[in-house]
């Protein structure tokens, strides 16, 4: 009714304003949809990046835990004049103690030096003075009980790495290789110094 009373001159102007308002609302909706899409895309990138970072952190933690365990076993060997060994499998490792009286190796089944499953989704590659092995099966073998060092132990085969009472150990490199496109970590020792863990640098020569 109001439009009918207005001068014909204003009618086209009102129609133009209504059209412009409708058009502006349409563009705002499109822009909103674009913003929602971009936010969703960014969120997915953040989630994927966060998962990748978490997995890499697990690899780092596993490498540092293995290096620390080797260092502690070396101290134990020196303090008690014992010979220790390390068994390596696809995604775990275990320490063993040599029984001089029975002339046999016994895997430590419990305590701080008991078997350790890796937390990260990785597999292990061991290099011993130029000889490289990728592990896919656990090499430990169950057998006779022993009373070495007040721990529960089971007789096993010869370990991969030796830690001697003199403080020396088998020179080795243990590479933790992710089962995805992630960065490898490596635990190594020259046989004289303690084992150390660090991010793998391809420029550093292997054993």
Contact 95, 82 (CB under 8 A): no
Per-residue pLDDT tens digits for 31-60: 777 777 777 777 666 555 445 688 999 999
Q: Tell me the C-alpha distance between 1 and 85, whole Å.
A: 98
C-beta atoms surrounding 1 within 10 Å? 4
Per-residue pLDDT tens digits for 116-159: 999 999 999 999 976 666 654 444 333 333 334 445 567 778 99
Closest CA to 91 of 172, 174, 153, 197: 174
Closest CA to 48 of 179, 177, 181, 176: 181
Predicted TM-score (pTM) of the model is 0.66
Closest CA to 62 of 91, 84, 85, 97: 91
Q: Out of 18-32, 39-53, 87-101, which region has the weakest mean confidence (pLDDT)?
A: 18-32
- For residue 185, what pLDDT band results from cuts at 50, 70 and 90? very high
Domain ranges within the chain, ordered by starting residue = 41-199
CATH says 41-199 is which class? alpha beta
Q: Residue written as tokens 């995805």?
A: 180
| Beta bridge mates, 107 | 96, 154
């Amino acid at each position: 009714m109001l439009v009918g009373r207005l001068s014909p001159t204003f009618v086209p102007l009102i129609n133009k304003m209504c059209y412009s308002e409708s058009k502006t609302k349409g563009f705002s909706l499109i822009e909103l949809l674009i913003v929602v899409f971009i936010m969703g895309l960014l969120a997915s990138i953040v989630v994927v990046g966060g998962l990748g970072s978490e997995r890499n952190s697990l690899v780092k933690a596993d490498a540092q835990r293995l290096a620390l365990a080797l260092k502690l076993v070396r101290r134990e060997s020196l303090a008690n004049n014992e010979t220790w060994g390390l068994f390596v499998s696809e995604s775990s490792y275990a320490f063993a103690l040599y029984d001089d009286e029975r002339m046999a190796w016994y895997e430590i089944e419990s305590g701080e030096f008991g078997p350790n499953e890796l937390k990260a989704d990785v597999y292990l590659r061991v290099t011993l003075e130029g000889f490289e092995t990728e592990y896919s099966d656990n090499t430990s073998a169950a057998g006779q009980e022993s009373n070495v060092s007040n721990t529960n132990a089971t007789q096993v085969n010869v370990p991969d790495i030796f830690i001697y009472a003199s403080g020396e150990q088998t020179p080795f490199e243990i590479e933790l290789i992710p089962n995805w496109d992630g960065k490898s970590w490596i635990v190594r020792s020259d046989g004289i110094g303690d084992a150390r863990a660090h991010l793998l640098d391809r420029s550093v020569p292997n054993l």
